[in-house]
């Protein structure tokens, strides 16, 4: 857990006094500084064992993940992208089928569909949460629909109260893309255990990131779990006898060993992310930015795990703000500048500008700010003061102490029963 220090007493809204020269978007080196010795020892143990693929640490990790997420089955694989592919394969999605999913997401959500010869049918998003709009999902379902893939984007669970009945009425399964939302909940249940299959990523920028690629699937269905375990090893059981045509998507033991060092810290890191989100909201109010910037709210029906803190900058000024922040050393990212329905590789599907207005607006107006668990209060203040500089707003009164800024009621919902023990540089590629 990050200990907050009292922020500087007087920091002007303009000028450089008291502000930091740089704030990184992500600083994995701070996690490494705390856990580096344990991680190196864990990697060493795997190397000594010589069991590099699906070794004992993988089995242990799967059991620990199932317990943490309170699901009967957690099945690891080589990446979040493969998790999506395996989920759709296990549910029998194939050529000519349709799958309804948001366009405002990482590419992997849709590419898994097209790799099976199925057709992605894109639905628009809610402009406040950026999550898939259930009403548009309903409109997009046809007789050919074989699955719905909501994405729990930025760490917030999609509106499952609305989506589950839609899927049930259509007689199709839900594959949750939970790559960005490990430990997020919906009415107290973890994402990944709400639909038929949940897909997670261990990509290093995720809330639980490995030392490379990795992913896992969750399901409450015994039949699907059995199929997923087969599909990730070429459908092979026993050795050299193939029941199904699967793929090679196994988790390296080294990844599992690293992730087992990190998993006990995930709940505390998540709480720090929630504190940072609350801290930002207090700072944006303090600097009078309400009319200029829209900040994301918490989720009253569950736990938002804040993989990203994404603001909206209206009036065509998003890119100029990003450039202003970059010049002052503040790291930001745009998720996602070109929505999937307008990507060149999907041109043959016939989508055009204007088809998904809220998705297209979000792609032009949103900007992700640093929110990683180890982010310090003085860094958060620098980020917001730099935004105030750009918007020309002034700091209002004495600073509310972000140390005492509390998460909202939603942030205080009980975490999944779990742990509560005891967290570089950002990777070049982000998803
Ligand atoms: C929403 C979403 N889905 C799927 C993926 C794919 O995961 P991976 O990078 O582990 O393949 C990512 C990003 O990594 C993602 O953000």
Quick: pLDDT tens for 222-279: 999 999 999 999 999 999 999 999 999 999 999 999 999 999 999 999 999 999 999 9
Ligand 1 atom with the shortest distance to the CA of 81? 11
- Probe residue for ligand 1, chosen from 76, 79, 81 as the CB with the greatest number of ligand atoms within 8 Å: 81
**Shared domain check, 400 and 341:** yes
Question: CB of 365 closer than 6 A to ligand 1?
Answer: no
- Please state whether 159 falls in left (phi above 0), alpha (psi between -120 and 50) or beta: beta
Q: What is the pLDDT of residue 410?
A: 34
**Shared domain check, 270 and 149:** no
**Shared domain check, 330 and 206:** no
Distance from Cα 236 to the centre of ligand 1, integer Å: 26
Ligand 1 atom with the shortest distance to the CA of 79? 10
| Residue ending a domain, choose from 212, 232, 264 | 264
**Shared domain check, 134 and 218:** yes
What b-and-e string marks burial along 164-185, b requiring 16 or more CB atoms within 10 Å of the CB? bebbeebebbbbbbbbbbbbbb
- Probe residue for ligand 1, chosen from 99, 102, 130, 203 as the CB with the greatest number of ligand atoms within 8 Å: 203
Q: What is the pLDDT of residue 300?
A: 94
Domain extent, residue 388, equals: 265-412
**Shared domain check, 130 and 158:** yes
CA distance 229 to 41: 29
**Shared domain check, 285 and 258:** no
Question: CB of 81 closer than 6 A to ligand 1?
Answer: yes
The answer to whether residue 416 scores a pLDDT higher than 80 is no
Tracing tokens 């919902």 back to the chain, one arrives at: 413
Q: What is the pLDDT of residue 4?
A: 43
The answer to whether residue 62 scores a pLDDT higher than 80 is yes
Chain-centroid distance, C-alpha 88: 20
Q: Give me the mean pLDDT over the 335-345 stretch.
A: 98
**Shared domain check, 248 and 155:** yes
**Shared domain check, 164 and 288:** no
Distance from Cα 180 to the centre of ligand 1, integer Å: 7
**Shared domain check, 269 and 149:** no
Could you tell me if residue 139 is inside a domain?
yes
CB 367 within 8 A of CB 311: yes
Ligand 1 atom with the shortest distance to the CA of 201? 10
CB 257 within 8 A of CB 42: yes
Distance from Cα 10 to the centre of ligand 1, integer Å: 41
């Amino acid at each position: 857990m990050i200990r907050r220090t009292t922020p500087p007493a007087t920091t002007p809204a303009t000028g450089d006094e008291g502000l930091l020269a740089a704030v990184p978007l992500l600083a994995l080196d701070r996690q490494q500084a705390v856990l580096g010795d344990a991680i190196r020892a864990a990697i060493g143990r795997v190397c000594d064992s010589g069991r590099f693929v699906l070794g004992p640490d993988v089995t242990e990790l799967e059991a620990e993940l199932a317990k943490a997420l309170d699901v009967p089955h957690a099945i690891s694989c080589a990446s979040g992208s493969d998790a999506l592919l395996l989920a759709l394969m296990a549910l029998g999605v194939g050529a000519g089928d349709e799958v309804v999913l948001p366009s405002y997401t990482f590419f992997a959500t849709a590419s898994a569909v097209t790799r099976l010869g199925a057709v992605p049918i894109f639905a628009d998003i809610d402009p406040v949460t950026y999550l898939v709009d259930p009403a548009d999902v309903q409109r997009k379902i046809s007789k050919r629909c074989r699955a719905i893939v909501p994405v729990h984007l930025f760490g917030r669970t999609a509106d499952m109260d609305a989506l589950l009945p839609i899927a049930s009425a259509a007689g199709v399964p839900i594959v949750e893309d939970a790559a960005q939302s490990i430990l997020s909940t919906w009415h107290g249940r973890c994402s990944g255990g709400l639909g038929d299959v949940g897909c997670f990523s261990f990509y290093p920028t995720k809330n639980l990131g490995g030392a490379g690629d990795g992913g896992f699937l969750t399901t409450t269905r015994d039949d699907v779990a059995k199929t997923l375990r087969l599909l990730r090893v070429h459908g092979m059981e026993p050795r050299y006898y193939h029941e199904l045509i699967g793929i090679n998507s196994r988790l390296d033991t080294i990844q599992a060993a690293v992730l087992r060092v990190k998993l006990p810290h995930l709940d505390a890191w998540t709480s720090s992310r929630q504190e940072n989100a609350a801290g930002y909201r207090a700072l944006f109010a303090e600097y009078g930015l309400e009319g200029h910037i829209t900040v994301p709210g918490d989720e009253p029906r569950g736990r938002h795990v804040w993989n990203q803190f994404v603001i909206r900058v209206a009036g065509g000024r998003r890119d100029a703000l990003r450039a202003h922040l970059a010049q002052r050393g503040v790291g930001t990212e745009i998720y996602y500048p070109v929505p999937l329905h307008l990507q060149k590789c999907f041109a043959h599907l016939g989508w055009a500008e204007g088809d998904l207005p809220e998705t297209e607006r979000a792609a032009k107006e949103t900007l992700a700010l640093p929110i990683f668990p180890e982010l310090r209060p003085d860094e958060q203040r620098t980020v917001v003061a730099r935004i105030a500089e750009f918007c020309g707003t002034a700091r209002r009164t004495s600073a509310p102490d972000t140390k005492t800024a509390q998460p909202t009621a939603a942030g205080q919902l009980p975490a999944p029963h779990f742990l509560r023990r005891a967290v570089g540089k950002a990777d070049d590629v982000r998803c």
